[in-house]
Chains A and B, each alone.
Chain A
Amino acid sequence: MTEWLALILVVMMLAAALAVVLVPNLVGAIAASSAVSLVVAVIFVVLRAPDVAMTEAAVGAGLSAAVLGLGVRRLGLWKLNEGKKDDA
């Protein structure tokens, strides 16, 4: 049962990591990186590191996404309906 849980977690993590690289708009990429952090936090719980999981979920998924989102808004790249990639 634990193997299936681990397999699902690893597949979710890698899929979200691919989404960070491939999703065209930056807001979606930030959301995907936050999802990667959440799955990594669950994996830390499975690996019996509950304190690290707590910190990863609070800091990696919450604070990091907030910093990146505010940075994107400050950079003027907050576009939700952008179809093409890398609109620098």
Chain B
Amino acid sequence: MPIPLDTLFFAGALGLVAIGVVGMLASRHLFRVLLCLGLAEAGGNLLLVLSGYRWDSVAPILTGDLPVGVSMVDPVPQALVLTSIVIGVGMEALAVALLIRIRRAYGTLDGHALLARLREDLDERLGVAPDRSEDLPKGHAPFPAPAAKEQEVNP
């Protein structure tokens, strides 16, 4: 049962993009979000190179003695990916610098805590009350205990 080579590589690249995106959405620590962004970027690069790939062709390097009937891999996506890799590292360095500034300003890199602090700061700067619902239940359990409720409903 031979799997075609293209299908295998496409599955790998799409899996890499999927793992990166799901990890970005699921992880709370901002540094891990950055790492997952790098994963998704590598998967995207792999997809771009795969778009110009041909099974029966050679690397796009001009040596002068290319046999007749042999074609080359498309070099345009490869040039694009070459640029994309370098830009990706620059973006990672920028993100690390931003994380250092965030850690210095807020003292944490947890996403939920940072969001809460950001909302508090915005409310304080705008001079408005914190955005809370009046129906917010107090305590940990929003619903009363089932036995008490049953007695209340069916006396």
Contact = CB atoms under 8 A, between A and B. Distances in A.
A55 B5 contact: no
A56 B11 CA distance: 20
Interface string A56-68: 1001100110011
The DSSP consensus for interface residues of chain A is helix
Contacts of A64: 38, 88-89, 92
A6 B46 CA distance: 13
A51 to B, nearest CB: 6
A21 B89 contact: no
Which bucket holds chain B's interface residue count? 35 or more
Interface string A34-74: 00110010011001111110011001100110011011101
Nearest to B5: A6
Contacts of A52: 45, 49, 78, 81-82, 85
Nearest to A50: B59
Contacts of A3: 2-3, 5, 8
A41 to B, nearest CB: 10
B31 A17 contact: no
Contacts of A68: 34-35, 92, 96
Given A51-B82, A67-B89, A21 B29 contact: no
Interface of B: 2-3, 5, 8-9, 11-12, 15-16, 19-20, 22-23, 26-29, 31-32, 34-36, 38-39, 42, 45-46, 49-50, 53, 57-61, 73, 78, 81-82, 85-86, 88-89, 92-93, 96-97, 99-100, 103, 108-110, 113
Given A14-B12, A50-B61, A88-B113, 15 more contacts: A6-B8, A10-B8, A10-B12, A14-B15, A29-B35, A33-B38, A44-B46, A48-B53, A48-B57, A51-B78, A52-B45, A56-B45, A59-B89, A74-B100, A88-B109
9 contacts: A2-B5, A10-B8, A20-B39, A21-B19, A26-B32, A40-B16, A50-B61, A56-B45, A60-B88
